[in-house]
Amino acid sequence: MKKALVTGGAGFIGFNLSRRLLDEGYQVIAVDNFITSSTQNINILNTYHGFTFINHDINNPFTAELEKACRDVETIYHLACPTGVPNLGPLAEEMLLTSSVGTRNVLELARFTGASFLFTSSSEVYGNPGVFPQAEAYEGNVSPVGIRSPYEEGKRFAEALIAMYVRKYGVDAKIVRVFNTYGIGMSLDDTRVIPRFLRLLKDRKPIEVHGSGKQTRTFCFADDLVDGLIIAERTGERGEVYNLGSDREITILSLAEMIQSVSNIKSEIVFTSGVSYDHDRRLPLLDKIKQLGWSEKTALESGLLKTIHYIAL
Ligand SMILES: NC(=O)c1ccc[n+]([C@@H]2O[C@H](COP(=O)([O-])OP(=O)(O)OC[C@H]3O[C@@H](n4cnc5c(N)ncnc54)[C@H](O)[C@@H]3O)[C@@H](O)[C@H]2O)c1
C-alpha cells in the first residue's frame, strides 16, 4: 500500500487531499497541531481505513513515533502553516517558524526517506502585484517588514529553502502557489471571505463587505485544487513552481450576491471599513499547470451550492 504524509492534515485543504488519497487506496499519516483548525476534520478522516493522525507541532523535532510512522512514506504533502488574515498579528511568530524551522524539519524527512515532496506555497508570495496576470516568473511586490510579511515572507523563505534542498540534496520537490480556494471542510470560524459570509448568513446577520466591494478575487473549488496538487506532485518537474487556482475573477460584492442567491437566504449587505493592507486584485496565469493536464472543472455557483449543502445552511 502506498503511503503519504500530509502535514496540516486537519486543515481545510489537508482534509480534502487526505480524503482523496485514502479513496485512491493510500495509507495517509496526517500531522497537525490544530493551531488554525479543530478535530472536526480528523474525526471524519478517522473513519477511513488506512488513516493515522499524529498530533505534533512540526516546528519541534520529530518524535520517535512520528519518525517510525514516516519511515516508508513515498510522498510528503507539506501543507502545515497557520492561515487567515486576522492571524497575521497574533500568529506572526508561528507563521514564520512553521515556514522556516517547520519546513526544514519536513524537508529533512524527505531527504532521509527519499520521499517526493510537494509544498503548498501561496499567491501571497506575489504580495501586492504590479503585473496581471501573475506568472510564476513574476518576482512579486512584498514588504519584508509589512503587516503581511510573516505569511508572505514566510512562504518566500520556504520556497528558497526548498529550492536549496533540490539543488544541494537532490530532493524531488515541487512548489504549488495556491490561490484562493473554498469548499467542503472549511470551518465556519475560518476568517477567509467565503466561510465568513456563510457564517453571517447562517447566523442570519447582514453580510459585511469590506471597503467598496469592488476588489476582485478568484475562487477555486477544493476538489479541483486537490486534482492540481496531485497532478503537480506526480507529473510536475523537480524544483518547478506551479500556480494553481481559478482565473475567473469576481468582485467581493458580486460574490456576496451570488452566495445570497445560491443559498436562497436574503439578508442585508452592509459595507464596513476594510483593512488597509488588503490587496485589490489577484489573478494567476495558469498555463504551466494546464500544460500538465489540469483544468478547473467546477463553476463557482455549483461549488458554492455543494459547500452550502455540506454545512447545512
Ligand atoms: N485555502 C486557501 O485559499 C489557500 C491559499 C493559498 C495558500 N494556501 C496554503 O495551503 C495550505 C493549507 O491551507 P488551508 O486553507 O487548508 O489552511 P488551514 O489553516 O485550514 O490548514 C493549515 C493547517 O496547518 C496546521 N498547522 C499550522 N502550523 C502547524 C505546525 N507548526 N505544526 C503542525 N500543524 C500546523 C493548522 O493547524 C491547520 O490545520 C497552507 O500552507 C496555506 O498557506 C491556502
Q: Which DSSP string corresponds to 203-228?
A: TT--EEEETTS--EEE-EEHHHHHHH
CA dist 133 and 130 (Å) reads 9
pLDDT value at residue 191: 84
Does 151 participate in catalysis according to the annotation? yes
Q: Does 33 contact ligand 1 (Cβ within 6 A)?
A: yes
Q: What are phi and psi of 22, to 5 degrees?
A: -65, -40
Residue pair 33/51 in contact by the 8 Å Cβ criterion? no
The count of C-alpha atoms lying within 13 angstroms of the C-alpha of 55, restricted to the half-sphere facing its C-beta, is 7
* Nearest ligand 1 atom to alpha carbon 185: 20
Q: Does 175 contact ligand 1 (Cβ within 6 A)?
A: no
Tell how far the Cα of 272 is from the centroid of ligand 1, in angstroms.
27
Residue pair 174/237 in contact by the 8 Å Cβ criterion? yes
Q: Does 129 contact ligand 1 (Cβ within 6 A)?
A: no
313 pLDDT higher than 70:
no
More confident: 273 or 231: 231
Share of the chain above pLDDT 70, in %: 98
Residue pair 209/252 in contact by the 8 Å Cβ criterion? yes
The active-site residue out of 151, 165, 182, 242 is 151
Ligand 1: residue whose CA is nearest its atom 9: 120
- pLDDT-derived band at 266 (thresholds 50, 70, 90) equals confident
Q: Alpha helix locations (H) across the chain? A: 12-23, 40-45, 64-70, 92-97, 103-113, 149-169, 193-202, 222-235, 252-263, 287-291, 300-311
Tell how far the Cα of 268 is from the centroid of ligand 1, in angstroms.
31
Which of 2-6, 185-189, 277-281 has the least mean pLDDT?
277-281
Report the DSSP pairing between strands 216-218 and 249-251: antiparallel
Which of 132-146, 164-178, 180-194 has the least mean pLDDT?
180-194
Residue pair 142/157 in contact by the 8 Å Cβ criterion? no
pLDDT value at residue 46: 98
Residue among 84, 91, 74, 93 nearest 122 (CA): 84
The label of the residue with cell 530532493 reads: 171
* Nearest ligand 1 atom to alpha carbon 155: 43
Q: Which DSSP string corresponds to 256-294?
A: HHHHHHHHT----EEEEPPPTT--S---B--HHHHHTT-
260 pLDDT higher than 70:
yes
CA dist 112 and 248 (Å) reads 41
How large is the average pLDDT for residues 152-158? 98
